[in-house]
Amino acid sequence: MTPEAICARLLYRDGLMLVVDKPAGLPVHRGPKGGESFEDSFKHLCFGLPRSPSLAHRLDKDTSGCLVLGRHRKALEKLALLFKQGKIDKTYWAVVRGGPQEEEGLIDLPLGRLDASRGWWMKVDPQGQPAQTRWRVLGRGQDAEGAPIAWLALSPLTGRTHQLRVHCAALDFPIVGDPIYGAGIRPDEVLHLHARAIRIPLSKNQPAVEVEACAPDHMKSLLAACGWTQAMDDAVFAARQERESEREKARIEARIEGN
C-alpha cells in the first residue's frame, strides 16, 4: 500500500496511538505463507517517531474497519492493559441472513476450538471459554433475490476468536459472505462484518477517544437495502474533518507558545 493510500485510511492520530481503517481481504500481519499484509504499510505512519507503530489488537483478514495501533512501547503497554481489562468498547456492523425476531439481545455461548486440524476455527462448546455478544437490529430488508436480511450492531463483551461470526451463525443468522460459518456463499461475496466504532478511555482527565469508520463499499448495497444512507457516513466524515482541524489548530498554537 502506498504512503498516500495508508494515510488516506488514517481515522485518528495523537501522541500515543493511531486508528486506521483496515480494508477487507487484507491480513493485518504476514502469515507463515508470506504475502502482503496491512502491517507492511505501517512504516508510512511514523509521523516523526523513529519506529513504525504496532498493532494493539487484531482484526480478521476479511473484517474491515477500526484498527488501533500503538505508536511506541509505553503506548502499546497502556492499550494492551485497556483491552485486557475490557475497558475499550467496540461496535461492529454486520449484515446477516435472515435475522433475529427480537430487536436486541445478548448472546451468551461459550466457545472452543473446532478441532486441532482447523487452526483458529471455533464452535459453541459448553466446556469452552465464556463469550458474550450484545446485539441490536438497526434495520431489516431483502437482498437482490428477495431473501430477508438484517443490519445488526454487535458489541463483543469478550474477545474470543471469530466470536461474532460463530455467535451469529449459532443463532441461525450467519453473517453474509462468511466462508467458514455461513452457508451458500457466492464466489464473489465478501464478509459483511465491519468494525464500525471504537471507544478508548486513554486518559482519566479527558473524554474517551471515540472513532468511527465509514461503511466499506462492499457492504453499502445490502446496508442500503436495510435503511442505511450515504448521508449517515457523510456526517461521520464531516465530524472527523472538523475534529482534525481543531487538533491541528491546537498543535500549531502549542508550537507557537513553545517558541
Which residues are annotated as catalytic?
60
- Other beta carbons within 10 angstroms of residue 77's beta carbon come to 12
What's the half-sphere exposure (Cβ side, CA atoms, 13 Å) at 88?
Answer: 21
The gap from C-alpha 79 to its chain's centroid, in whole angstroms, comes to 16
**Alpha-carbon distances, residue 112 vs 143, 161, 167, 169 (angstroms):** 32, 9, 12, 15
The C-alpha atoms of residue 217 and residue 215 are separated, in whole angstroms, by 7
Quickly list H helices, the chain: 3-8, 73-84, 163-170, 217-225, 230-258
Residue located via cell numbers 466462508 = 179
DSSP states of 171-219: TT-PBTT-TTT-SS--TT----EEEEEEEE---TTSPPEEEE-PPPHHH
